[in-house]
């Protein structure tokens, strides 16, 4: 009986080892197609946000803890730091769209490649981000912030300004398109 138990345990260990090895070695072909395999989720987001990859076949959507990639009927997920939250802003003057989860491949903001000033403070009025930036080709600008916090953002373009209060918890949007500059 001990020999039988030992054989079952050895077989189980081998099967688990093969499954773990197989899963670790599996590459994400969606990422390979877009030349971003082997990079961190944070770098993947930065690349796709900057490049504004529009496609009917490929999509990349940001949730509060991961990116979901879809190509055809294939879906893959890439997790990112559990302590950080990515949120992308598309300030507007005339036209916006409804959005909750930011799509790196289909969201399009109005202010493309425009200089804006962003100031983000936390609930204690500590400055978290204060910089002149250029929106991406998709009209968005994204930042990484600490998770489970409350922030206020002020955005200015020339004399037009807009502001919003937002959260970075598991129920929060990763796409904010409601900041009208006036």
Q: For the segment 8-61, what is each residue's pLDDT rounded down to a tens digit?
A: 455 444 544 433 333 344 566 667 666 677 778 888 888 888 876 677 788 899
In the block, tokens 């600490």 appear at: 146
Q: Where are the alpha helices (DSSP H) in the chain?
A: 2-25, 29-33, 41-51
- The 10s digit of each residue's pLDDT in 95-134 is 999 999 999 988 999 999 999 999 999 999 999 999 999 9
Q: Residue 91: inside a domain, yes or no?
A: yes
Residue 29: per-residue pLDDT: 63
Query: What count of residues does the chain have?
Result: 182
Q: Residue 58: inside a domain, yes or no?
A: no
Residue 46: per-residue pLDDT: 85
- The 10s digit of each residue's pLDDT in 58-81 is 889 999 999 999 888 888 898 988
Q: Residue 64: inside a domain, yes or no?
A: no
Whether the per-residue pLDDT at 7 is higher than 80: the answer is no
Q: Residue 49: inside a domain, yes or no?
A: no
Q: Residue 117: inside a domain, yes or no?
A: yes
Q: Residue 131: inside a domain, yes or no?
A: yes
Of 56-65, 113-122, 148-157, 160-169, minimum mean pLDDT range: 56-65
Residue 37: per-residue pLDDT: 75
Residue 34: per-residue pLDDT: 66
The whole domain housing 127 covers 84-176
* Total-model pTM: 0.81
Its sign, for the CA torsion 172, 176, 181, 182, is negative
| Contact by Cβ (8 Å): 84, 142 | no
Element (H, E) at 146: strand 141-146
Q: Residue 45: inside a domain, yes or no?
A: no
Contacts of 131 (CB under 8 A, 6+ apart): 117, 118
Residue 21: per-residue pLDDT: 38
CATH of the domain at 155: 2.60.40.3700
Its sign, for the CA torsion 121, 125, 127, 128, is negative
Q: How many domains does the chain have?
A: 1
Q: Residue 171: inside a domain, yes or no?
A: yes
């Amino acid at each position: 009986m001990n020999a039988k138990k030992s054989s079952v345990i050895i077989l189980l260990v081998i099967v688990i080892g093969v499954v773990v090895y197989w899963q670790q070695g599996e590459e994400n072909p969606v990422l390979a197609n877009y030349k971003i395999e082997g990079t961190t989720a944070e770098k993947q987001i930065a690349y796709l946000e900057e490049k504004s990859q529009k496609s009917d076949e490929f999509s990349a959507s940001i949730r509060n803890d991961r990116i979901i990639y879809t190509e055809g009927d294939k879906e893959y997920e890439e997790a990112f730091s559990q302590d950080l939250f990515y949120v992308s802003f598309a300030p507007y003057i005339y036209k916006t769209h409804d959005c909750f989860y930011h799509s790196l491949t289909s969201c399009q903001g109005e202010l493309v490649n425009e200089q804006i000033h962003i100031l983000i403070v936390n609930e204690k009025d500590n400055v978290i981000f204060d910089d002149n930036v250029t929106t991406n080709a998709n009209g968005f600008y994204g930042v990484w912030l600490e998770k489970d916090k409350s922030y206020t953002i002020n955005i200015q373009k020339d004399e037009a300004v807009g502001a919003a209060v937002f959260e970075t918890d598991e129920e929060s949007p990763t796409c904010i398109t409601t900041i009208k500059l006036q």
